[in-house]
Chain A
Amino acid sequence: MPLFSYDLHLHSCLSPCADDENNPVDLVMLGALLGIQILALTDHNSGKNLPAFFAAAKQVKEEQGIPLLALGGMELTTAEEVHTLCLFENCEAALAFDRLVEAKLPNIDHRPEIFGRQLLVDEKGEECGEYPKLLIPAADISLYEVRPLVEDLGGICFPAHIDRSSYSLLANLGLFPTDCGFPCFEVADIAKAEELMRLGVVPSSLLPLSSSDAHRLEDLGSKQQKIELPELSAPALFAKLKGIL
């Protein structure tokens, strides 16, 4: 089976902690230039820059003929403050999830001078405003609720950077709850995955992933990870992540 390079954890300028220069259109263009074949935009608790991301991906595919699988995503902060990556095949499903999460986020006004700006970008790649509600706090969605919500929309979700000391499943819960049914997991350092599985911290049946978690353009693709798939498609990727392939 062919190998495809992926980066499934990217932040655009909508994420308050990300660089204001991290335009979603530039992420796609640079990703294509670097030869990364699977890209997912996963802003904190929002999918509002996904239309720009998908429009850019369409342009790259159709006008430049570059094979690219773009996924709509979000890095959800669950009620336990565990960062969880949620991926969807298309913009519509991702935006349906965005609406669901938006309703579950506390109404705290954004303070750009403290947390950084939350820049919205239109389909042409132009800045078109600033998202008013703070995207940092936890949504009122628990780790046990997130998977059914995501799967109802045809998506897939898994815990992010579980080897980190903050906002991570292992740091916040102290263990990997197998009953949440996460099919795979992300580590910041791929070398840690083997050790976590050998020690029995993470079930050895789960697929480890590692993506850049890029908050600046120069971080894009920094993990240089590849995945074996029969074809470049979301169903093939999701089946692989679920351990079906």
Chain B
Amino acid sequence: MALETLLQDPNFTLVSGPSDCSLSRVFCCDLLSVAMSRAPEGGIWITVMNNLNTLAVASLCEVHAVVLAENVIPQEDVIQRAKLEGISLISTPLPIFEAALAAQNCLD
């Protein structure tokens, strides 16, 4: 799936990065130490962890898109890092499960 399918859902707002990247799998995790060794390459990662290191880990794992769920507003340094890495950063008011389900439905 390309990210633009998910972005047609008004619950998802693209904060920065490309709107048309391809996505391999949906991944949910809030502990960066776990995500660091598990986040799927090319995946879309749903989290509430609003930290610069979220983007560093996403870059390490070559994740294509990061979704901040639960209305978490990305910090400015997080947005800048996402831009730098070319990772799509998305925000949503949905809880993690609903956000992941919506992404999975686009993927199927």
Q: Give how many A-B residue pairs fall within 8 Å (CB-CB).
A: 32
Asked whether A114 lies within 8 Å of B56 as measured between CB atoms, the reply is yes
List chain A residues, Cβ under 8 A from B52: 17
- Given A108-B37, A114-B60: A167 touches B31 (CB 8 Å cut-off): no
Chain B residues touching A, majority SS:
helix
Asked whether B33 lies within 8 Å of A106 as measured between CB atoms, the reply is yes
A137 within 8 A of B: yes
Q: In the complex, A167→B53 CA distance in Å? A: 10
Interface residues on B, range: 10 to 19
List chain B residues, Cβ under 8 A from A75: none
List chain B residues, Cβ under 8 A from A138: 31, 33
A213 within 8 A of B: no
Q: In the complex, A111→B33 CA distance in Å? A: 15
List the B residue with the shortest CB-CB distance to A138: B33
- Name A137's contact: one of B36, B50, B51 (CB within 8 Å): B36
Q: In the complex, A115→B49 CA distance in Å? A: 17
Q: In the complex, A108→B36 CA distance in Å? A: 9
Task: Please list 15 pairs of residues, one from A and one from B, whose beta carbons are closer than 8 Å in the complex, sorted by A's number.
Answer: A17-B52, A17-B53, A77-B33, A81-B31, A106-B33, A111-B60, A114-B60, A115-B53, A115-B56, A136-B56, A137-B32, A137-B33, A137-B36, A138-B33, A166-B51
**Which B residues are closer than 8 A to A by beta carbons?**
31-33, 36-37, 49-53, 56, 59-60
**Which A residues are closer than 8 A to B by beta carbons?**
17, 77, 80-81, 106, 108, 111, 114-115, 136-138, 165-167
